[in-house]
Amino acid sequence: MAAIAIDGPAGAGKSTIAKRTAKALGFIYVDTGAMYRAMALFMLREGVDIRDTDAVADAAKRAEITIRHEGGEQVVILNGENVSGSIRTEEVSQAASTVSVVGQVRERLVALQQELARTADVVMDGRDIGTVVLPDAKLKIFMTASSAVRAHRRFLELKERGEEADEEQIRRDIEERDERDRNREISPLRQADDAVYLDTSALTIDEVTERILALWK
């Protein structure tokens, strides 16, 4: 099956672009971050100390995570419950980054991601898609933007939803998460040797999508 892998730090625009690209090509969009977020939500709800890697590895066995597509949108299911609406908080973002360092968590989710790519054409985004999950993907993109731009985009997104936001705090949170995602031992965020580097700081969503569609052709 055909696959496009998109990796990069938080807030670079991966999911927006991946969704559009998938739609344009008739592929399925797979948001792997949502799976780590569902795993983190499970740990928070169960009261697991997320800094205790043994406890996280053990609890992960009790979390059944799957995804479904409804009307073109990915829905994440945690032990039978649709948790898509509960995984986008700042608390879950940081917890996802923390539990994703644990090998047992990654093994389970990577297997699920690889299975999805075996059965459908996918645009998959995350941190280790081009390096670990789909090393044979035909097109790999490493998408980034300055942390100031990424924080500003997030700030606008929250404002639009009517939520309170402190741009400086958002920037610090993003930088903290990137630091952890880049420096973890297993499958850290890094550009695959054969990935195309794309800095979206000064580009519009349409420009980035066009660029990727042209590369795919």
> Using the rule CB under 6 A, which residue among 28, 96, 143, 170 binds ligand DC?
96
The C-alpha atoms of residue 171 and residue 42 are separated, in whole angstroms, by 26
Question: If binding is defined by CB under 6 A, does position 173 make contact with ligand DC?
Answer: no
* End-to-end C-alpha distance for the chain, whole angstroms: 16
CB neighbour class for 49 (10 Å; exposed up to 12, middle 13-18, buried from 19): exposed
**Which of residues 60 and 129 has its CB atom nearest to ligand DC in the complex?**
129
Question: If binding is defined by CB under 6 A, does position 177 make contact with ligand DC?
Answer: yes
Question: If binding is defined by CB under 6 A, does position 209 make contact with ligand DC?
Answer: no
What is the widest separation between alpha-carbon atoms in the chain? 48
* Total length of the chain: 217
What strands, in cross-sheet order, belong to the sheet with 139-144?
28-31, 122-126, 3-7, 139-144, 196-199
**Which of residues 26 and 142 has its CB atom nearest to ligand DC in the complex?**
142
Restricting to residues 15-34, name those near ligand DC by CB under 6 A: 32-33
To the nearest whole angstrom, how small is the minimum distance from the Cβ of residue 121 to ligand DC? 19
Question: If binding is defined by CB under 6 A, does position 97 make contact with ligand DC?
Answer: yes
> Using the rule CB under 6 A, which residue among 3, 6, 10, 137 binds ligand DC?
10
Stretch that binds ligand DC, among 52-60, 124-132, 157-165, 204-212 (CB under 6 A): 124-132
Stretch that binds ligand DC, among 50-58, 95-103, 155-163, 200-208 (CB under 6 A): 95-103
Helices first, then strands: H and E counts in the chain: 8, 8
Distances (CA, A) of 67 to 41, 49, 204: 15, 26, 29
Question: If binding is defined by CB under 6 A, does position 126 make contact with ligand DC?
Answer: yes
Question: If binding is defined by CB under 6 A, does position 154 make contact with ligand DC?
Answer: no
To the nearest whole angstrom, how small is the minimum distance from the Cβ of residue 217 to ligand DC? 26
> Using the rule CB under 6 A, which residue among 128, 147, 153, 195 binds ligand DC?
128
To the nearest whole angstrom, how small is the minimum distance from the Cβ of residue 181 to ligand DC? 5
Q: Where are the beta strands (DSSP E) in the chain?
A: 3-7, 28-31, 65-70, 73-78, 81-82, 122-126, 139-144, 196-199
3-state helix, strand, coil in the chain (%, to 5): 50, 20, 30
Residue numbers of the site for ligand DC (CB under 6 A)?
A: 10, 32-33, 36-37, 93, 96-97, 100, 126-129, 177, 181
